[in-house]
Amino acid sequence: MTMWTTEQRQRVYVEHETLQREGFTQFSVYQNKDNDTYYASGYATSNSGRRYGLHITIPSGYPHARPMMYVTDPLPLLMSDGRKLASLGLSHYMHTLEPSSNGMVQICHWREARWHSGIMLFKVFLKGHLWIEAYEQHLATGRNLSEFVGTMAETA
């Protein structure tokens, strides 16, 4: 069982409050009391009106460890050619990391080496929104997400 420090629990509380204050009210932070873990989730609506479920797994090393963000809905998430996006796994061109065991696409939102404790979850959800808009451009054009969203440099 994971042990969360008082400081980590306070940070998770602040994360939830910040989501609400910054206008990300469609997202919330939750605690799974059965195994004392935390996650954040909700639905993002694209400019075209489509809804996408986003789920952030908050790791036990948070805020120093980078959280993982998945698209939970629709599942499976399809590419413009009808193939499952999760089948690509790690893809620079589609800004994805290894998918979950049940096929949810993991969005690459921050380089591991660039992650730091000052980055808050509302910024991760903002990156999720940007990814979704690029994904919809991919569906419309067949072009890679990397043509619509820049890649974060390895170092500052």
Q: Which domains can be identified in the chain, with CATH numbers? A: 6-147 (3.10.110.10)
Give the tens place of pLDDT for each residue, 59-115: 999 999 999 999 999 999 999 999 999 999 999 999 999 999 999 999 999 888 889
Buried b (16+ CB within 10 A) or exposed e, 95-114: bbbebbeeebbbbbbbeeee
For the entire predicted model, the pTM comes to: 0.92
For 99-115, write each residue's pLDDT tens digit: 999 999 999 998 888 89
Cβ 142 vs Cβ 136: under 8 Å = no
Q: In what order do the strands lie in the sheet with 68-73?
A: 27-32, 37-45, 51-58, 68-73, 105-107, 96-97
The SS3 call for residue 101 is: coil
CA dist., res. 93 & res. 150, Å (int): 10
